[in-house]
Amino acid sequence: MNALAAVLAHSAIWRGNQLSRVTSSSIPTGFAELDAELPGGGWPTAALTEILPRHTGIGELRILGTALAALSAQKRTLVWIAPPHMPYAPALAAIGIDLERVVIVTTRSPREILWATEQALRSKACGAVLAWPGAIKYPELRRLQMAAEDNPVLAVLFRAQQAAAETSCAVLRIDLQTYHGQLAVRILKRRGAALNAPILLHSPAVTPGRVIVEHFATSSRSMPSPPTPLPQRGRGGLRAKPLCRAVS
């Protein structure tokens, strides 16, 4: 068996369930289950990655948070091109991204988005380029892929979930959904063997805490805390009694 294992470990032999080797460095995602399934052990650089969230705000930035924080700690610039809303600066600072490295580009037309993405990918100055290109065709994707080659840049395109049916030349395509409160990551395309089962990541947006609400007549099953009066906060003696009553 040792001889067989030695033969199979040869670099020229590829087995069907193996992930391919990658030549450019990868950036760890911060989730061990996801790292284990990605070739190179992280987000690929020098190539396009596509993230297709089911809707905005499902967790597409949380999944990149560790990688972006690591890149900004290495003093690399993070370029955001045409984001759907303005990234909130205190929240970015809270997850560890250095705001000095963040550059936001707002554009007026889809052509400008593509041009700006290509310029950012081609210049060797960026550590990560996050773009929301809207409707994009295969030749344009190919052009962005060519621009990203030879540059150690993390290039991420966010597209609508309907784009999963279109062909794309990105080396990694990820579909994001939720499943029972956890983030379900389905890898649609990666270098190497295909993965059919989704990966469940436990990554809550906010740690559930006490919720105290008032004037609710009906009960809500998602209020985890028992009824407790609000502790007194002496802010100039404005409140003399508990603020609200928790209704079970």
Partner 1 sequence: MLWIALDFPCLPLETFALASAHSEPWAIADGTDVLVCNQPAHALGVRAGMRLSAACALSPRLNYRLRDAAAETATLATLAAWAGQFTPNVSLESPRALLLDIEGSLRFFGGIRPILQTLKRGLDDMGYTATMACAPTATAALLLARARMQKIINCKRALEAVVATLPLSALECDARTAQTLHAVGVRRVGDLLALPRDGLARRCGQPLLDTVDRALGRLPAPRQFFAQPEQFDARLELAVPISNSETLLFAANRLLNQLTGFLAARNGGVQRFTLTLMHERCAPTRIEIGLVTPTRDVKHLTLLVRERLAALVLPAPALALCIEANDILVLAEENRELFPSRDGAQGEWQKLVERLRARLGSNAVHGLATQAEHRPERAWRTAPPGTASSAPASGARPLWLLSAPQPLPEIATRPQYRENALAFLAGPERIESGWWDDDDVKRDYFVAQTPDHATLWIYRERRAPGGWYLHGVFS
**Contacting positions for partner 1 (CB under 8 A):** 54-62, 75-77, 79, 83-95, 99-100, 102-108, 112, 115-116, 119-120, 123-126, 152, 178, 181, 205-213, 215-218, 220-223
Nearer to partner 1, 79 or 170 (CB): 79
Nearest approach in angstroms of CB 18 to partner 1 is 31
- What letter would DSSP give residue 41? S
Contact, 169 vs 142, CB < 8 A? yes
The Cα–Cα gap between 201 and 215 comes to 36
Nearer to partner 1, 28 or 87 (CB): 87
Nearer to partner 1, 49 or 77 (CB): 77
Nearest approach in angstroms of CB 55 to partner 1 is 6
The Cα–Cα gap between 57 and 3 comes to 51
Nearest approach in angstroms of CB 61 to partner 1 is 4
Nearest approach in angstroms of CB 42 to partner 1 is 18
Nearest approach in angstroms of CB 98 to partner 1 is 9
Contact, 26 vs 40, CB < 8 A? yes
Q: Nearest to residue 246, comparing CAs of 211, 209, 208, 207?
A: 211
Nearer to partner 1, 18 or 25 (CB): 25
Contact, 132 vs 86, CB < 8 A? no
Nearest approach in angstroms of CB 15 to partner 1 is 35
Nearer to partner 1, 48 or 63 (CB): 63
User: Who contacts 139 (Cβ-Cβ below 8 Å, separation ≥6)?
Assistant: none
Beta bridge partners of 44: 26
Q: Which residue has the tokens 């840049």?
A: 153
Nearer to partner 1, 29 or 77 (CB): 77
Cα–chain-centroid distance for residue 7?
38
Nearest approach in angstroms of CB 215 to partner 1 is 6
Nearer to partner 1, 105 or 169 (CB): 105
Contact, 180 vs 58, CB < 8 A? no
Contact, 210 vs 199, CB < 8 A? no
The Cα–Cα gap between 143 and 154 comes to 16
